[in-house]
Chains A and B, each alone.
Chain A
């Protein structure tokens, strides 16, 4: 018992120290690696950490797989772009528009959710795809979105060498925010309701979960965060077109990241995004013609689904547990050495003899 408690305390301690080390590493990353090429990887990775975690808070917890997150991402980007253009916002003042991106994401999520969340499973997935294409077409066809040439962000008078750093820290703030939020939700009654819906929605409703309200709240939250990070992404790239803001590959990438790391876990989407997004970026830069990266990505995808079907975090945890339990079965030979001093105490030798 005591050794088990000690081990639990040890793993908890290890987890906290790992978290602290990770946080420090994330904070000093742009200071240590000043090369803009590397910080660029960091910014994109953190944008996708945020987007994938936001997806996970709704889809991972509730089991409703949304393939329409780009609706919020693109809308957030366009909201910042249109506001900056029409209100003549220039310079660093554009960052004050980022909350608007979150609000727009949330405002779109409510009617979208009210329509889509009436249906389940495959039909839900397909409706999210359909809504996604409606938004892409709107971005193409309306005049206030700038049509197929899209929008450009105001010019930021920053030096090229450190241009990425403010974006890095903004994206880091967003990522930490959604991770903390996901952690809180998972522990709260709200998170429990979501997981009850995932396991058996009808039974959850029978037990008094207001399913529609809970799903809609999670969907709206997810939409707001995705909209916000879409705004950050737009200011970083300084431009958005209908096919980049509303990109079907964006939807599938964040889903892959969450699956890769482990669906419904907190660390899963983070780990998935940190591995896959830099990898994808590297492949795109390395193979400019694109198709080798595509084939490789698909192959990795297949390997993950077939051999690590529940994601790295759950499967990895299982391996570690198996390793530690194997350690325990190997304990008895080591035990006498540990217990020997206690053997001098006659009281403890009794039960030991019984167990042996």
Chain B
């Protein structure tokens, strides 16, 4: 297991955390159903990713502070990976296991969540057999997809060359 280093994750990853909370506010689930607080969110297996992907080293990020304020969240468990070249953070990869309150297979739910991330209207493409939404953050490209009950959000610096190869490799991740 790799030790998490306390670093500031990229903005889109934090956005994704925030959206998972915000979306819960407009849930189609019964009004009595409540999401989880940050303290209830568990960590996922940190060995989901290998130690290196392409030319990047992989570490688990510490997101305790970001999760601390979360309330009414759709997330059961979450891990944020940082992908670095040397000490430079190139990308973050957030894997979130959603609660049963989240209607993951409902296109309206997916679109509501996806629309809440990024600075441009998300564009949907199919890569292999997976539907991926592409959008942009501040100086970063954001890719979002669902796998079963899991939500995966990849944020990559604009100046990283093989962005699409990186997405393709991470699409193979099965939490």
Q: Indicate whether A and B interact.
A: no
Chain B residues packing against A (C-beta within 8 Å): none
Chain A residues packing against B (C-beta within 8 Å): none
